[in-house]
């Protein structure tokens, strides 16, 4: 019974801990978006890619300026999920 009461008391904290983010997305044809990031002012190159169940993801990085961009895409459209101006490699493995 004590465990049940504790769970009831903690339930509001769990509900309040959930956060929904709403942000505008920049989307375009995958080739155009990747070309703009690779050959535009950021000159980021493909560093990592992964296949999801429905969509794919790529991480583009400029090692000199430390900028990065994460894209999600399917065959028809790609969207920028996030960008940043600093990064560090947290694992050692072969460079792509």
How many CA atoms, within 13 angstroms, populate the side-chain half-sphere of residue 42? Answer: 20
What are the pLDDT tens digits along the chain (96 aa)? Answer: 666 666 556 656 555 556 777 888 889 999 999 999 999 889 999 999 999 889 999 999 999 999 999 999 998 999 999 999 987 766 666 665
With beta carbons less than 8 A apart as the criterion, state whether 75 and 57 touch.
no
Using DSSP, state whether 3 is helix, strand or coil.
helix
In sequence order, what are the residues at sequence separation of 6 or more whose Cβ sits closer than 8 angstroms to the Cβ of residue 69?
37, 42, 44, 59, 60, 80, 82, 83
């Amino acid at each position: 019974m004590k465990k049940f009461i504790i769970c009831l008391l903690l339930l509001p904290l769990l509900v309040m801990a959930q956060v929904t983010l709403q942000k505008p997305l920049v989307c375009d044809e995958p080739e155009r978006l990747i070309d703009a990031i690779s050959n535009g002012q950021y000159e980021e190159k493909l560093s990592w890619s992964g296949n999801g169940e429905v969509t794919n993801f790529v991480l583009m990085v400029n090692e000199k300026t430390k900028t990065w961009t994460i894209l999600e895409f399917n065959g028809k459209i790609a969207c920028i999920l996030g960008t940043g101006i600093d990064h560090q490699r947290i694992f050692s493995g072969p460079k792509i």
